[in-house]
Amino acid sequence: MKLSRKIFLLSAVACGMMVAHDAAHAAHHAPGDPADEKARQVLAHMSPEDKMSLLFSVDGGGFNGSVAPPGGLGSAAYLRAPAGSGLPDLQISDAGLGIRNPAHIRKDGAAVSLPSGLSTASSWDMDMAREAGAMIGREAWQSGFNVLLGGGADLTRDPRGGRNFEYAGEDPLQTGRMVGSTIAGVQSQHVISTLKHYAMNDLETSRMTMSADIDPVAMRESDLLGFEIALETGHPGSVMCSYNRVNDLYACENPYLLNTTLKQDWHYPGFVMSDWGATHSSARAALAGLDQESAGDHADARPYFQALLAADVKAGRVPQSRIDDMAQRIVRSLFAQGLVDHPPRRAPLDVVTDTLVAQRDEEEGAVLLRNEGNVLPLSPTARIAVIGGHADVGVISGGGSSQVDPIGGEVVKGPGKKDWPGDPVYFPSSPLKAMRAEAPSAHITYDPGTNIAAAVRAARAADVAVVYATQFTFEGMDAPNMHLDGNADALIAAVAAANPRTVVVMETGDPVLMPWNSSVAGVLEAWFPGSGGGTAIARLLFGKVAPSGHLTMTFPQAESQLAHPDIAGVTANNVFEMQFHTDQELVYDEGSDVGYRWFDRNHLKPLYPFGYGLTYTTFATDGLAAGYHHKQLTVTFNVRNTGTRPGVDVPQVYVGLPDGGARRLGGWQRVTLAPGESRQVSVQVDPRLLAHFDGRHDRWAIPSGRFRVWLGTSAVDDSQQVSVHLPARTLAP
Ligand code: BGC
């Protein structure tokens, strides 16, 4: 064992054990909280057996061919409320992009899917994220579900992560605010939203066994800060602990994560549920802070939170007060999120309205990376060769438990892969058809791109070629490399050689390498575009809406630039092997310098930096000033639309601490401006971004000295900078 790792383990374990004792013996109490009070009243009349039954959900059906339990609708899990308690049964469904229908178990299980979480995050628009969350929350409620298993807030420590598309990106502030806003939206519909996967589940390789080893201080300043901000922003009723170990201990029995950080430091009043198969013990997990075992009848090696936990209580290994606390936290969330007073009322989905929400989300989240010679927006009368990516029928989506059954069915028949996650699913929102509808006077041809020579001929005969390229990523396995799928790189290079006015539309789950970047005129990163994706892309390409997305992940020039150039053990083999791959440790020695911070610290030049994104107009900023008043750092500046079209700018504020280190995103503003219009903007910097976490005293400490403040269009923009002196200050955790 490495020395550094030993230190992490000792500090985390020592800290956690102390608190485990306190938390286990003090039933949760928040005076004056009506939900807490109501929960207390219900539980006062409940038998110990009934309380215990709240701590264990069963498989909801679809898992390895299982059927829905009596009362269950067919979903990830089901929990029958104790008879006569007045509490609702819990109908628990995946996930963060829409309502999942595992193994097509429900006959009417199709739903509207948002674009990937990465796309929503790339809008940098908290109102949009809230609206997107409200849309899927509403669909959950109308489908009979009252617990949704999203949003995901793991940081992108590696651009090959199989589930990055479900998350928000590499920055803790950005992730916390965007995912927190989605959660708030879901919960506005009387549906509990679940912040997951807590914590450090940043990779899929060996996810069931691997230990993410990291200095707890660095973890508090990076991944955990993202969760903390998401929690404050969204107040999720539940938090899902992850599969992996963190500093050697499984996340679902990790007292440092659950008791010390989540419940003690962050005062989290809700409950912790395990990921499916992530519970490994009864007393140990309960004492560490796990409150509910998920789908424990099928997913875990044994049903821990039933007879085994009852025996622990009887033998005095777990005090009854801890069981009371677990039940209190669960029932409190049911009251706090309106599940008791507003039970789901099943109704047909409003597909038209909901698809429009998904479409707008995609319109805001797609990122224009390149636009040489203003190749975009496209002329409505151009001859356009659309090539590849199944653009004639639909848009690709990510695989795994966030996958939604498309309304209208799947439109691309794959080879029929039996292994998880099956063939990629395409939503029937055709970019080609939408382009034709958007520009009826254009002459638009389609070539599938499978034969490069034919695609080149089509491109030659057109004014502009638009190549659609995909990268399918999915839960359970990381991308073994950063390439687009199939022949896309060769296809794009050949088409670009034939027609310099080539635009690439990428539908990817992750950043990809773009060896052809400098030979194409335009690149639009559309991520996984969701149910309204085809229309959104067409409207962006023709300028009906201007792109306004900005990257929340660094696009490297090569994998050698990454903090971990190789993912140990990753192969393109069977996904189940990958998840359980040997008991490995991954030492995150880059600490809190994730993504752009790693690039900054090491003076590496990315292909496209974090925060970057173009649009169809231009902006100028000036008047940058930073002031510290009433313990608050406020940054002000002016932004002006200097172009000829209306547009949205996302100016970003980065800060540098007096004692050095990489720059950090401190805040941003999304500003919509007409041509010639200008506005004064003020951004308040979250004090935790100005601080170091002081592990010894368990608090944040702002050092005194001169802080640098950058105003930028991305994390590498050095053009405008001021500095400001701050006094030393400490903040409670
Ligand atoms: C995933 C979770 C999901 C759960 C239930 C797990 O494999 O990691 O994100 O919510 O399954 O389907």
Q: If you measure from the C-alpha of residue 304 to the centroid of ligand 1, how many angstroms do you get, rounded to a whole number?
A: 18
pLDDT one-digit tens code per residue, 203-243: 998 899 899 999 999 999 999 999 999 999 999 999 999 99
> Residue 402: CB within 6 Å of ligand 1?
no
Domain 48-337 has CATH 3.30.70.1140: no
pLDDT one-digit tens code per residue, 316-331: 999 999 999 999 999 9
pLDDT one-digit tens code per residue, 591-619: 999 999 999 999 999 999 999 999 999 99
pLDDT one-digit tens code per residue, 453-484: 999 999 999 999 999 999 999 999 999 899 99
Structure token pair of residue 535? 């229309």
Which stretch of DSSP H or E encloses residue 502?
strand 502-508
- Taking each helix axis from N to C terminus, what angle separates 431-438 and 533-541, rounded to the nearest 10 degrees? 40
Distance CA 664, CA 548 (A): 22
Number of H helices, E strands in the chain: 19, 31
> Residue 141: CB within 6 Å of ligand 1?
no
Instruction: Please choose from 192, 273, 298, 401 the residue to mutate so as to test ligand 1's pocket, defined by most ligand atoms within 8 A of CB.
Output: 401
Q: Which residues partner with 375 through β-bridges?
A: none
Instruction: Please choose from 149, 252, 273, 403 the residue to mutate so as to test ligand 1's pocket, defined by most ligand atoms within 8 A of CB.
Output: 149
> Residue 276: CB within 6 Å of ligand 1?
yes
**449: Cβ contacts below 8 Å, ≥ 6 apart:** 387, 388, 389, 455, 467, 468, 487, 488, 491
Phi first, then psi: what are they for 607, rounded to 5°?
Answer: -70, -50
* Exposed / middle / buried, residue 456 (Cβ in 10 Å: 0-12, 13-18, 19+): buried
Atom of ligand 1 nearest to the CA of 295: 5
Q: If you measure from the C-alpha of residue 570 to the centroid of ligand 1, how many angstroms do you get, rounded to a whole number?
A: 21
Cβ(491)–Cβ(467) below 8 Å: yes
Q: Per residue, what are the HEC states of 435-461?
A: HHHHCCCCEEEEECCCCHHHHHHHHHC
pLDDT one-digit tens code per residue, 401-420: 999 999 999 999 988 888 88
Could you tell me the pTM of the whole model? 0.96
**What strands, in cross-sheet order, belong to the sheet with 522-525?**
367-371, 522-525, 502-508, 464-471, 383-387, 443-447
Structure token pair of residue 84? 């006569």
3-state DSSP assignment of residue 333: helix
Q: If you measure from the C-alpha of residue 207 to the centroid of ligand 1, how many angstroms do you get, rounded to a whole number?
A: 12
**What strands, in cross-sheet order, belong to the sheet with 678-685?**
619-629, 632-641, 678-685
> Residue 167: CB within 6 Å of ligand 1?
no
Atom of ligand 1 nearest to the CA of 207: 8
Every domain of the chain and the residues it spans: 48-337, 351-542, 619-731
The residue contributing the CA closest to ligand 1 atom 7 is 276
**Stronger pLDDT, 155 or 8, i.e. the higher one:** 155
3-state DSSP assignment of residue 128: helix
> Residue 275: CB within 6 Å of ligand 1?
yes
Q: Which residues partner with 699 through β-bridges?
A: 694
Distance CA 524, CA 459 (A): 18
Cβ(175)–Cβ(167) below 8 Å: yes
The residue contributing the CA closest to ligand 1 atom 6 is 276
The residue contributing the CA closest to ligand 1 atom 8 is 275
User: Is residue 365 pLDDT above 80, yes or no?
Assistant: yes
User: Is residue 18 pLDDT above 50, yes or no?
Assistant: no
Phi first, then psi: what are they for 534, rounded to 5°?
Answer: -60, -45
Instruction: Please choose from 64, 167, 252, 276 the residue to mutate so as to test ligand 1's pocket, defined by most ligand atoms within 8 A of CB.
Output: 276
Structure token pair of residue 485? 């799928």
Which stretch of DSSP H or E encloses residue 665?
strand 664-668
Q: If you measure from the C-alpha of residue 286 to the centroid of ligand 1, how many angstroms do you get, rounded to a whole number?
A: 20
Q: If you measure from the C-alpha of residue 679 to the centroid of ligand 1, how many angstroms do you get, rounded to a whole number?
A: 44
User: Is residue 11 pLDDT above 90, yes or no?
Assistant: no
Burial annotation 101-111 (CB, 10 A radius, 16+ → b, else e): bbeebbeebbb
Atom of ligand 1 nearest to the CA of 197: 9
Q: Tell me what pLDDT residue 165 has.
A: 98
Share of the chain above pLDDT 90, in %: 90
> Residue 714: CB within 6 Å of ligand 1?
no
CATH entry, 351-542, from 1.10.3720.10, 2.170.190.11, 3.40.50.1700, 3.20.20.30: 3.40.50.1700
Q: Tell me what pLDDT residue 215 has.
A: 98
pLDDT one-digit tens code per residue, 23-56: 433 444 556 899 999 999 999 999 999 999 999 9
Q: What is the mean pLDDT of residues 355-369?
A: 98
The residue contributing the CA closest to ligand 1 atom 5 is 76
Residue of 411, 648, 669, 447 whose CA lies nearest to 540: 648
> Residue 77: CB within 6 Å of ligand 1?
no
pLDDT one-digit tens code per residue, 133-178: 999 999 999 999 999 999 999 999 999 999 999 999 999 999 999 9
Distance CA 193, CA 184 (A): 8
- For residue 575, what pLDDT band results from cuts at 50, 70 and 90? low
Atom of ligand 1 nearest to the CA of 194: 10
> Could you write out the DSSP letters of every residue in 401-444?
TT--PBTT---S------STT-SPPEES--HHHHHHHH-TTSEE
pLDDT, averaged across the chain: 94
pLDDT one-digit tens code per residue, 238-278: 999 999 999 999 999 999 999 999 999 999 999 999 999 99
Give the distance, in angstroms, between the CA of residue 699 and the centroid of all CA atoms in the same chain. 27
Q: Which residues partner with 671 through β-bridges?
A: 649
The residue contributing the CA closest to ligand 1 atom 11 is 276
Angstrom CA distances, 179 to 85, 194, 276, 513, 527, stand at: 33, 11, 21, 26, 17
Q: If you measure from the C-alpha of residue 275 to the centroid of ligand 1, how many angstroms do you get, rounded to a whole number?
A: 6
The residue contributing the CA closest to ligand 1 atom 2 is 275
Q: Choose the weakest-confidence range: 96-100, 474-478, 559-563, 576-580.
A: 576-580
Q: Tell me what pLDDT residue 45 has.
A: 92
Cβ(562)–Cβ(556) below 8 Å: yes
Q: Tell me what pLDDT residue 574 has.
A: 57
Reply yes or no: is the peptide bond before residue 278 cis, omega within 30 of 0: no
Structure token pair of residue 323? 């069981």
Q: Choose the weakest-confidence range: 86-100, 202-216, 380-394.
A: 202-216
> Residue 401: CB within 6 Å of ligand 1?
yes
Q: Which CATH superfamily is domain 619-731 in?
A: Immunoglobulins (2.60.40.10)
Instruction: Please choose from 92, 475, 477 the residue to mutate so as to test ligand 1's pocket, defined by most ligand atoms within 8 A of CB.
Output: 475
**618: Cβ contacts below 8 Å, ≥ 6 apart:** 641, 642, 643
The residue contributing the CA closest to ligand 1 atom 3 is 401
Q: If you measure from the C-alpha of residue 317 to the centroid of ligand 1, how many angstroms do you get, rounded to a whole number?
A: 30
> Residue 199: CB within 6 Å of ligand 1?
no
Q: Tell me what pLDDT residue 324 has.
A: 98
